[in-house]
Chains A and B, each alone.
Chain A
Amino acid sequence: MRCGVVVFPGANCDHDVYHVLKHVFGQDVVFLWHGDEDLAGAELVVLPGGFSYGDYLRAGALAAQSPVMRAVRRHAAEGGLVLGICNGFQILLEAGLLPGAMRRNRSLRFECRDVHLRVERVDLPFTAGYRTGQVVTLPIAHAEGNYEAAPEVLDEIEANRQVAFRYCGPRGELPEPAEESPWNVNGSARAIAGIVNREGNVLGMMPHPERAAEAVLGGTDGLGLFAGLVERVALRVTG
């Protein structure tokens, strides 16, 4: 599978994602520049974490307007796979490719730690490597990860099963109210950590699977996400 990792000025997880896809999974990976107007034939486009444009204005707001995002928008509309991690999720929200917005964390602090996530559905290319309800541990590192959307939008997201990951306890606990759960470290609405679009080909998530994809990094729970993607795309191509 050809994968494109977008490099925005201020991105800092671009090489991590590149490494995992290329060296752990043996995929064909290219870097795409934020000024590029085409995606060099990438089937999967990754918007990596970091601080694109120094987080000026709002996290992801300026990157969402960059030329490469026009190509990403077309790719997504044609059913192509798009994965936004951390700042990449913020960019997808600012670009309107996913519903909602991010606010400062409830704590007003930059939260950098491992969190537990419940995998809400496994019928997506992004989550095919997991089991329904599986609890995985991935690191987060962000100041603006407090997911917010209007109540009717949240209801629609739930009704369409667009939630892919929720912040939960070590055994999958999801105490109510979700916004005040001690496991929901940023205070996200409905403890949402990752969502997909209605069609299920665009995923945005705050946790970093690429930082937990080799034992030497202290965790391998992120492997499932990339494994699922690689396998799904391989099946589609051969079958």
Chain B
Amino acid sequence: MSDGPVKARVTVYPRREILDPQGKAIQGALAGIGFSEVEEVRAGKSFEITLGGDRAAAQARLAEMCEKLLANTVVEDYRVEMLDDDAVEEVRA
């Protein structure tokens, strides 16, 4: 794997066992405009991060970023997805 910018998407969302008042409110609003089949909404945040170094090192550093700052693990979970260039294009389209 050549060095160069590595791209990733980090998704942070409320832990499953914790009530998500924002998600609940959005679910209610969706039901109000005809999407009553919606059973659950969990509202989170997403970050697109570009960083130097190789992919394996980047993955480890991204996990560290999540633990230290991007997520508050008392109430939130996170997911890190490594993106190839095509996927990034798709995200930005």
A residues lining the B interface (CB < 8 Å): 57-58, 61, 65, 93-94, 100-101, 103-106, 108, 146, 148-150, 187
Contact = CB atoms under 8 A, between A and B. Distances in A.
A61 B18 contact: no
Interface residues of B, number: 10
A203 B75 CA distance: 21
Interface centre among B14, B21, B70 (most CB of A within 10 A): B21
B33 interface: no
B22 A100 contact: no
B74 A104 contact: no
B75 A61 contact: no
B69 A108 contact: no
B46 interface: no
Determine the main DSSP class of A at the interface with B: loop
Interface of B: 14, 18, 21-22, 25, 69-70, 72, 74-75
A179 to B, nearest CB: 9
6 contacts: A61-B69, A61-B72, A100-B74, A104-B21, A108-B22, A148-B75
Contacts of A93: 74
B21 to A, nearest CB: 5
Given A101-B75, A103-B14, A108-B25, 18 more contacts: A57-B70, A58-B72, A61-B69, A61-B72, A65-B69, A94-B72, A101-B72, A101-B74, A103-B18, A103-B21, A103-B75, A105-B21, A106-B21, A108-B21, A108-B22, A146-B21, A148-B75, A187-B21
Nearest to A179: B19
A148 B74 CA distance: 8
